[in-house]
Amino acid sequence: MSDSTAIAHDAHAAPDHGHGEAHPTYLRHHFENVEQQADAAGFAMWIFLLTEVMFFGGLFTAYLIYRNWYYPAFVAASHQLSVVWGTTNTAVLIFSSFTMAMGVWCAETRRRKGLVLSLCLTFLLGLVFLGIKTIEYSEKIEKHHVPGFHYNLSSFLDPDNDAAAKAASDKALPLDMARHTEVYFSLYFAMTGMHALHMIIGIAILGYMIFRARAGAYTSGHVTFVENFGLYWHFVDIIWIYLFALLYLISRHQ
Amino acid sequence: MTDQKEMESASHHVVSPKIYVIILFALILGTAATVWASFLELGPWNPVIALAIATGKAMLVVLYFMHVKYSSKLTKLTVFAGIFTFLTLIGMTLADYFSRAWGQW
Amino acid sequence: MSHISPIIWQFLVKWMTNFALFPPEASKIAPQMDALLFFMVLVSLIGLTIVTLLVTSFCILYSKERHPVAEQIEGSTLLEATWTIIPLGLFLVMFVWGALIYFRVYTPPANSMNIYVVGKQWMWKAEHPGGQHEINSLHIPTGQPIQLTLISQDVFHSFSIPAFRVKREAIPGRYTTVWFEATTPGTYHLFCTQYCGTNHSQMIGDIVVLTPEDYRKWLAESTSGMSLAQNGERLFASLSCNACHNTRPDARGPSLANVYGAKLALSSGGTVLADEAYLRESILNPSQHITQGYAPIMPTYQGQVSEEGVIALVEYIKNLNSDYRIQQTLNTTDLLPEGEGTPRRPTPAAGPQAGPAGTAQPGTAKQGTVKP
Amino acid sequence: MSATIVSLPDQSTARIPKVNFITKENGLLSWLLTGDHKRIAILYLISLSFFFFIGGALAGLIRLELLTPQTDLMATDTYNKVFTMHGVIMIFFFLVPSVPATLGNFLIPLMIGAKDLALPKINLLSWYLYIAGGILAIYTMASGGVDTGWTFTTPLSTHYVNTNVLTTGLAAFIAGFSSIFTGLNFIVTIHKMRCPGMTWFRMPLFVWAHYAASILMVLATPVVAIAIVLIALERTIGIGVFDPTKGGDPLLFQHLFWFYSHPAVYIMILPGMGVISETISTFSRKRVFGYTAVAFSSVAIAVFGFFVWAHHMFIMGISNYAVLVFSLLTMLVAVPSAIKIFNWTFTLYKGSITFETPMLYTFGFMGLFTIGGLTGVFLGTAGTDIHLTETYFIVAHFHFVMVGGMLMAFLAGIHFWWPKITGRMYPEKISQLAAVITFIGFNFTFFPQFILGTLGMPRRYASYPPEFQILNVFSTAGATILGVGYLLPVLYLTWSLKYGAIAGNNPWQATGLEWQIQSPPLTENFTVTPIMDHEAYDYEWLENQKAKEVASVG
């Protein structure tokens, strides 16, 4: 076989793997070059997003099954959500996705100020999203629409006394169907809760990134972290796009 | 070395902010469209349209914001694998639920 | 060896005399199931023998002493195709054969007698149509197909009779069915095979298979006086079901006579076969099961009737072959306000497909729904 | 059969290389904060063995209790907790991470010519997650245990037990993320870190098997994670996704659970199959028969593995149409396993076979896995599944696959790569004895359980009808033999750390890249990036290589 088989038999074989010349400091020792390192990190992020897809996949499956089974309950329960808040939040999140994308662009083109600004905007928009979510949640808590021991059916049995139901001109549900609104709210809280948790984690990382970016961390060519975080943030945005369509917009025309 | 190509094609393609702005407007437009469509009486098409618009929006985010349009085949394959498994989980589970309603046989 | 431990010796003798690979075959399906099992054991043994023989002979023929230098072989498409296709073919045969048996076990014949079984932590409660109750035992006759309709009150249980080769999960909130026809009188094991909590291993009982004569004797001895359907009739009246389901032309609910086994048109579109599961569902979740032409006004009875009560009601409705009995009961409809619209009587849509021209009148303490 | 391929260096002059990954740094912290995949593998090996022996002790208690039909050793409640913890620990803390986290971690970078896994920090994180999950599991056990069975069946786990379901669930959840990160790391490494010349079809089959298993880890594990989250929410807040009294469907939990837990058995067995491909090739001095078929059958198992989960639910009231589809797909997934068995068998054909310990374990694997696999077909067939499911037949079946298959492969691998990991050989004779004892003990323990299963004895029973006693006595007797078989390796392997013969670079004359470097390897694995210019299992290349060396020295 050929002589090119350069397998190191002994430890003293030419230690030319020097940390000499053009190797930037952020290149970790086990990678051949920066390209490989960035590539591996990006690919790893995508694989991680796959696991996230499957994580939400279980919830979406449950949602689709029960929506089919208990459609009237899902319609009535979704009318309890505010389309205005939902749309605002969707817009906020889309905007934050945009600012995040701009942040990545700034990092790639080495604009430190632009990066810090974009990250700050993303951070703020994330907080706005969570703020609106808090308003929505507290409304549910007030109305006892949180599944569990204190769950209250009156909005669905007696829609005339309920502002949201009246606005949607809902008819009263029979008791057995009204009970199934609890399944809707179970899924609502599980899905939006998991999403909000991802937002909180994202915002925490954003805070750290702003801190580092001000020191010029990501604008010297090593943009992997910003890019990967961008992927995460966009993914969270996509989940919300579906949640909005599925949870808020069931049959608004009735 | 098979990966040589993958690596080169994955080298950063910087997307211009102009495209980002266009996508942003498309997404906002999509959001408006989906809200508007939900107030129309379309029968069984309501959820279909809602999901179609949501999927369209998600595609824009994936392709442009997440740069998949400019990424290596491997990344595209990864995205595809995710969607495929996701649909397997949903599809095969729902198949059980739907066929249960068909009765004994 | 003279020094063998007497305890082990006892074990061995006992085992050799009782040696069995399969439990007794006491139902009609058992020999069919065993035929497939034997086939699979045979295939497995042949497969295992082939692999073992090949490995052993290669080990002997090509050990380093005999065969110091290995010959490099890439592979052989033909050989590989062979051992892809042959197992695939065998597996497909097993699949088809197994599927056929699966159909048989879970498709009760039309003339089967229905016994309800409720599983709860940690006992099995059987309800015979004649009103006989049993706990952790089940008496059945030979020569008669028995259908079990199972439900659980709490967690998953599994009703297993190894001697009959049948098993079915009892799940909360839904009826499941299984059927068998016992062939040999005797007492057999009943197990709960799905882990169901602390006393799972005590959720066992006896299946007592009797000859038809003995069975009749047993029925007569253990009757509680009221048949299941009679209990159901009482419940039907006390829950005021007849306020709406009263057969009058202006009734707010459909007539229930001959409804069992019929194909009903639903107001949500589509038709559904009214079987036990459907009857149960429409008592507990009525708003999803509105017969076409009727308003969704029926209240849910969830939480008001126990699973046993639902079973009695279902059994009553199943045996309702005419409107006569309902018309005779005291009716309180007149005291209630008129329902909106003019509900009309449904034509017994599509006709009862299993013509229930049976002899069983509601209330007669006859065992079994005698449906052709 | 005295012939052997072992070639050790002259013991009087041989030394373990002064500089290697073990001696590079000293102190506990240098281990606990390491990024070196080899050190993490050793951390895993130690912690895994610990959990294996806890799980094994619990198994011993189960077998002791089942010695007699009555519940005399422990109360039913205790028994339920013991078998639950046995399942949880063995599955989440031993079988799932066993080969991938130890041998896979150690070997994948070496085999593909990389300096480390792509994400060393994530690798360390995954070990810490594993330990965190493990500590939670131990805590659960110490604080009263849990009695749901490892399957967490709803509504039992959500509404009807008062034991530590939450902490157990959390333990499984955390361990799940550990396994996701391991799988993620492997996929990225295999895609991005191969050395020049290492094409996909030059990779050892061990790497292929791990690649397939990693796909399953990454895509299936999150689904069980969300199912566990929903159980936790149901227990704490009282949401109604699986609760039948609120309109939920408990079968949905089964769907979500088995969507992970069926692929999980392939996560457990595929890496074991990878080990077998390596050993069988090395000890018959031959390229694996039909390399491509074996490689693709791994991937086929991974892909088909996603489509068969509902065969765990045949009698649970899923739709009969679904039963047909899932039964058919189960038959299809059995075929790649059959292909592998025959390909391994024909690897022996015209080889030059020697019978060192790893090879003995390999033969054990092939026999037991064949039985385990074929009995799996009994359970995938819809009709016979009715009779056999939820009985001891199931128990026997998956112990044949998991313990007979996976554990045999694990031990084969540990023995095979022991000289590479430690630089020293284990004692050959006693280890051969251990392999034989394990095989005999295993058959004694689990074969009677097949008969118990066909006779109808249900699983998870603390007491049972007296006529099943004889077979249970056999099984318990076998378990003691098996216990000896598992204890022996711990003893002599530990002994060999100090007193074993110096192994040299390549005691087995194997072809993999990992054998061409010093043992134990350097921290950076390769001082010069290797270039792969030959197929995997190319023994001629190895001969040439040796000849060249001799020539150059001479």
Q: What is the SS3 assignment for D404-417?
A: HHHHHHHHHHHHHH
pLDDT for residue C358 is more than 70? no
CA angle D373, D377, D383 (to 5 degrees): 160
When pLDDT is cut at 50, 70 and 90, the band that residue C331 belongs to is: low
Tell me how far apart the alpha carbons of residues D106 and D520 are, in angstroms, rounded to a whole number.
Answer: 11
C177 found inside a domain: yes
Average pLDDT, integer, range C91-108: 93
Task: Judge whether C332 and C243 are in contact, CB under 8 Å.
Answer: yes
The residue extents of the domains of chain A are 58-248
The number of C-alpha atoms within 13 Å of A106 and in the hemisphere containing its C-beta is 23
Average pLDDT, integer, range C22-46: 92
Residue C269: which CATH number? 1.10.760.10
Interface mutation target, options D320, D326, D529, chain B, most CBs of B under 10 Å: D320
When pLDDT is cut at 50, 70 and 90, the band that residue A37 belongs to is: confident
When pLDDT is cut at 50, 70 and 90, the band that residue D126 belongs to is: very high
D296 and chain C in contact, CB less than 8 A: no
CA angle A156, A158, A164 (to 5 degrees): 65
pLDDT at C300: 85
A68 and chain D in contact, CB less than 8 A: no
Residues C95 and C117 occupy one common structural domain:
no
Q: In chain C, positions 31-70, which contact chain D (CB-CB < 8 Å)?
A: 33, 36-37, 40, 43-44, 47-48, 51-52, 54-55, 58-59, 62-65, 67-70
Can you list the alpha helix ranges (DSSP code H) found in D143-249? 165-192, 205-236
DSSP H/E element including A98: helix A83-108
| The domain boundary residue, chosen from C53, C82, C106 | C106
Whether residue C300 and residue A174 make contact (CB cut-off 8 A), yes or no, is yes
Q: Is C205 helix (H, G, I), strand (E, B) or coil?
A: strand
C103 and chain B in contact, CB less than 8 A: yes
Q: Which residue has the higher pLDDT, B80 or C268?
A: B80
pLDDT at C334: 45
Select from D373, D369, D374, D375 the least CA-distant residue to D453.
D375
Dump pLDDT digits (tens) for B51-96. 999 999 999 999 999 999 988 899 999 999 999 999 999 999 999 9
Residue C331: phi and psi, rounded to 5, are -120, 135
Whether residue D245 and residue C70 make contact (CB cut-off 8 A), yes or no, is no
Task: Judge whether D435 and D364 are in contact, CB under 8 Å.
Answer: yes
pLDDT at D317: 86
Q: Tokens representing C33?
A: 């199931």
Q: Identity (one letter) of the amino acid at C46?
A: I
Using alpha carbons, list the distances in angstroms from residue C120 to C136, C151, C234, D301, D315.
Answer: 11, 9, 25, 39, 18
Whether residue C103 and residue B103 make contact (CB cut-off 8 A), yes or no, is no
DSSP D235: H
Chains in touch with D (3+ beta-carbon pairs under 8 Å) read A, B, C
Average pLDDT score over chain A: 86
Residues C188 and C289 occupy one common structural domain:
no
Contacts of A7 in chain D (CB under 8 A): 513, 516-517, 526, 528, 530-531
CA angle C349, C145, C154 (to 5 degrees): 80
pLDDT for residue A217 is more than 90? no
Q: Tokens representing A100?
A: 């995040």
The residue to which tokens 């389309």 are assigned: A83
A241 and chain B in contact, CB less than 8 A: yes
B11 and chain D in contact, CB less than 8 A: no
Chains in touch with C (3+ beta-carbon pairs under 8 Å) read A, B, D
When pLDDT is cut at 50, 70 and 90, the band that residue C357 belongs to is: very low
Tell me how far apart the alpha carbons of residues D288 and D349 are, in angstroms, rounded to a whole number.
Answer: 10
pLDDT at A233: 96
pLDDT for residue C112 is more than 50? yes
DSSP H/E element including D319: none
Dump pLDDT digits (tens) for C64-84. 989 888 888 888 889 999 999
Contacts of D258 in chain A (CB under 8 A): none
D319 and chain B in contact, CB less than 8 A: yes
When pLDDT is cut at 50, 70 and 90, the band that residue B104 belongs to is: low
Average pLDDT, integer, range D401-408: 92
Residues C165 and C234 occupy one common structural domain:
no
Q: Which among B1, B2, B95 has CB closest to D322?
A: B95
pLDDT for residue D313 is more than 90? yes
Tell me how far apart the alpha carbons of residues B93 and B10 are, in angstroms, rounded to a whole number.
Answer: 36
Using alpha carbons, list the distances in angstroms from residue D348 to A148, C38, C51, D207, D499.
Answer: 63, 31, 12, 21, 33
C352 found inside a domain: no
Select from D536, D545, D541, D542 the least CA-distant residue to D209.
D536
pLDDT at A22: 58
| The domain boundary residue, chosen from C222, C238, C256 | C222
Average pLDDT, integer, range D143-161: 91
Q: Which residues of C218-228 are buried (b: 16+ CB within 10 A; e: fewer)?
A: bbeeeeeebbb
What domains sit in chain D, N to C, each tagged with a CATH number?
34-553 (1.20.210.10)
Q: Which among C103, C106, C273 has CB closest to B103?
A: C273
pLDDT at D553: 61
DSSP D391: B
pLDDT at D76: 92
A106 CA: distance to closest CA in chain B (Å): 9
Q: Is D458 helix (H, G, I), strand (E, B) or coil?
A: strand
Can you list the alpha helix ranges (DSSP code H) found in D284-356? 291-304, 320-348
pLDDT for residue A7 is more than 60? no
Whether residue C200 and residue D339 make contact (CB cut-off 8 A), yes or no, is no
Task: Judge whether D511 and D542 are in contact, CB under 8 Å.
Answer: yes
Q: In chain C, positions 269-308, which contact chain A (CB-CB < 8 Å)?
A: 284-288, 296-300, 302
Round to the nearest angstrom and report the end-to-end CA distance of chain A. Answer: 77
DSSP H/E element including C359: none
D447 and chain C in contact, CB less than 8 A: no
The 3 state secondary structure assigned to D46-87 is HHHHHHHHHHHHHHHHHHHHCCCCCCCCCCHHHHHHHHHHHH
B105 and chain D in contact, CB less than 8 A: yes
A44 and chain B in contact, CB less than 8 A: no
Residue D260 CB partners (closer than 8 Å, separation 6+): D176, D220, D221, D223, D224, D227
Least confident of A87-91, A173-177, D2-6, D282-286: D2-6
D307 and chain B in contact, CB less than 8 A: yes
CATH value of A58-248 in 1.10.3720.10, 3.40.1160.10, 1.20.120.80, 1.20.210.10? 1.20.120.80
pLDDT for residue C119 is more than 80? yes
When pLDDT is cut at 50, 70 and 90, the band that residue C329 belongs to is: low
pLDDT for residue C130 is more than 90? no
D70 and chain C in contact, CB less than 8 A: no
pLDDT for residue B4 is more than 80? no
Whether residue A231 and residue B66 make contact (CB cut-off 8 A), yes or no, is yes
A110 CA: distance to closest CA in chain B (Å): 12
Least confident of C296-310, D45-59, D377-391: C296-310
Contacts of A72 in chain C (CB under 8 A): 287
Contacts of C169 in chain D (CB under 8 A): 315-317
pLDDT at C254: 84
CA angle D285, D112, D546 (to 5 degrees): 40
pLDDT for residue C360 is more than 60? no
Contacts of A100 in chain B (CB under 8 A): 65
Dump pLDDT digits (tens) for B6-28. 333 344 677 889 999 999 999 99
Domain containing C135 equals 113-222
DSSP structure string for A188-222: HHHHHHHHHHHHHHHHHHHHHHHHHHHTTSSSSS-
C364 found inside a domain: no
Whether residue A245 and residue B53 make contact (CB cut-off 8 A), yes or no, is yes
Contacts of B103 in chain C (CB under 8 A): 273
Q: What number of other Cβ atoms are within 10 A of residue C3's Cβ? A: 4
pLDDT at A254: 64
Residues C175 and C245 occupy one common structural domain:
no
Q: Which residue has the higher pLDDT, D139 or A169?
A: D139
How many domains is chain C built from?
3
Residue A178 CB partners (closer than 8 Å, separation 6+): A73, A76, A153, A156, A157
Select from A170, A167, A168, A175 the least CA-distant residue to A159.
A170
pLDDT at C223: 79
Contacts of D382 in chain C (CB under 8 A): 95, 98-99, 101-102
Residue D214 CB partners (closer than 8 Å, separation 6+): D100, D182, D183, D184, D186, D187, D190
Whether residue D289 and residue C75 make contact (CB cut-off 8 A), yes or no, is yes
Interface mutation target, options D224, D315, D316, D321, chain B, most CBs of B under 10 Å: D321
Partners of residue D220 on adjacent β-strands: none
The number of C-alpha atoms within 13 Å of C202 and in the hemisphere containing its C-beta is 13
pLDDT at A113: 92
Residue C75: which CATH number? 1.10.287.90
Interface mutation target, options B8, B92, B94, chain D, most CBs of D under 10 Å: B92
Dump pLDDT digits (tens) for C149-196. 999 999 999 999 999 999 999 999 889 999 999 999 999 999 999 999
Tell me how far apart the alpha carbons of residues D128 and D430 are, in angstroms, rounded to a whole number.
Answer: 35
Contacts of B46 in chain A (CB under 8 A): 251, 253
Asked whether the bond before A147 is cis by omega within 30 degrees of 0, the reply is: no
The residue of chain A nearest to residue D190, with distances taken between CA atoms, is A40
Residue C187: which CATH number? 2.60.40.420
Residues C134 and C50 occupy one common structural domain:
no
Residues C179 and C277 occupy one common structural domain:
no
pLDDT at C16: 64
| The domain boundary residue, chosen from C106, C134, C149 | C106
Average pLDDT, integer, range A192-203: 96
Q: In chain D, positions 245-274, which contact chain B (CB-CB < 8 Å)?
A: 252, 255, 259
